[in-house]
Amino acid sequence: MADAPPKEESKGSYLWTLALFAVVAAALVIWFQRHLQPYVTESLIIGGTISLWGLWKLVWTLFTDAGGEGRKDLTRRLLGTPGAFSGLLFLAVIATLLHFMTSSIYLRSAGASPGERDFTVQVLEGDKVYMGPFTVHPGEVLGQPHFPSFGSHELEYQILEPRGFEPLKKTLRPWSAHNIKVPGSFSRKVLRHVVLVPDTVLFSDLPAVGQEGGPRYYLSITANDQTSVYPDLLQQLVVSGSEQPDLPASDSVKNEAIRRDMQDHFNADPAVPADVVIGTLLKADVAPLASTELRAGTPIVVEVGKWKTEGDQRVQVREFSCKLVTPQAGGMHTLFIGSSIKECQ
């Protein structure tokens, strides 16, 4: 007996099932590419990339080439069964859970400047290390998916080496996918270093480099409620404005711009030979004074004083202090200190 022609509602049911199948397939492809593709590519497949859709097409081609059923016939057989729609509903629930309960973190090498290669990165959650530290090499992708993922995490991505990058703060939610370019996703720090130059009066009072005995001077710089002290100030330049690893080298401080600033300042004071003062300051090593990182417009208090012995202790006796402001532009900036400077008292 010949089969009865399919009813109109069965055709409609098949179309709804087909539509649901397309939605579920698209959801799984998106989930795979969002959270798993970098991990699978790096961990399981060498020398290429793959997607869930590409894998499906590969398997299907192998099946049809081996003499299997055509795509159209097999699709009708699989999706035309009575339980196909309910089965796809179950898969839709699974796909929804995967989307809302999978988070992932991947760090890939991208955005480096010429000469930059390896970057040491760590991820913090508050004061605790969430991931790392690990080194990202050129062309490398590090990271993994997290399932099941519950709750949100306030993360801070840091490039530890090389220095000079601002931390990157991002919220990792249960459905988030963090694809961090190292160092492309990070802002480079704009460092502002101040080169403190003694005026003629202070220069005359300070001990010469190598001089023993006599009064000894200190210099302190206070910014952002933090104070740093250079304990033995001599006839030399002082550079400050960042933590020790970010301070410029002595030779880079003695550049042409700093030299011109000193010539303009000391040539205006005929009482002291400008060439003698400038030559002495440039001959001596620059004194590095690590401090809090100076931001644009940050108020700075520079204090200079003498050490005085009281009993068994040495105490600081202030000579003068200068109220200065960090320049807006990045780079090195010349600031003169001493009793002849109007900002000092």
- C-alpha–C-alpha distance, residues 52 and 32, integer Å: 6
Q: pLDDT grade, residue 45 (50/70/90)? A: very low
Higher pLDDT, residue 292 or 78: 292
Give 286's Cβ-side CA count (13 Å radius).
Answer: 22
Higher pLDDT, residue 92 or 44: 92
Percentage of the chain exceeding pLDDT 70: 85
Mean pLDDT score of the chain, rounded to an integer?
A: 85
DSSP H or E run through 198: strand 192-198
pLDDT tens for each residue of 140-184: 889 989 988 889 999 999 999 988 899 999 999 999 999 999 999
- Tokens coding 233: 């100030």
Which string of b and e fits 92-124 if b means at least 16 CB within 10 Å?
beebeebbeebbbbbbbbbebeeeeeebebebb
Q: What is the total residue count of the chain? A: 345
Determine the pLDDT at residue 16.
Answer: 79
For the chain, the C-alpha Rg in angstroms (whole number) is 34
Q: pLDDT grade, residue 21 (50/70/90)? A: confident
- Tokens coding 169: 């703060």
pLDDT tens for each residue of 235-291: 999 999 999 989 999 999 999 999 999 999 998 877 778 899 999 999 999 999 999
Distances (CA, A) of 53 to 27, 33, 60, 67, 188: 11, 9, 10, 22, 38
Please report the sign of the dihedral spanned by the C-alpha atoms of residue 260, residue 266, residue 268, residue 272. negative
Q: What is the pTM of this model?
A: 0.68
Q: pLDDT grade, residue 57 (50/70/90)? A: low
- Tokens coding 281: 């300051």
Determine the pLDDT at residue 1.
Answer: 46
Q: pLDDT grade, residue 206 (50/70/90)? A: very high
- C-alpha–C-alpha distance, residues 89 and 317, integer Å: 80
The residues, ordered by sequence, that sit 6+ positions from 300 with a Cβ below 8 Å of its Cβ are 194, 221, 222, 223, 294, 322, 323, 324, 325, 326
Which string of b and e fits 247-286 if b means at least 16 CB within 10 Å?
bbeeeebbeeebeebbeebbeeeeeeebeebbebbeebeb
- C-alpha–C-alpha distance, residues 140 and 122, integer Å: 16
CA trace torsion 281, 284, 286, 289 (10° rounding): -100
Please report the sign of the dihedral spanned by the C-alpha atoms of residue 193, residue 197, residue 202, residue 203. positive
- Tokens coding 63: 């099946």
Q: In this structure, what DSSP letter does residue 208 have?
A: P
Structural domains of the chain ordered from first start: 10-101 (no CATH), 103-183 (2.60.40), 192-337 (no CATH)
- C-alpha–C-alpha distance, residues 329 and 191, integer Å: 9
pLDDT tens for each residue of 88-115: 888 889 888 988 999 999 999 999 988 8
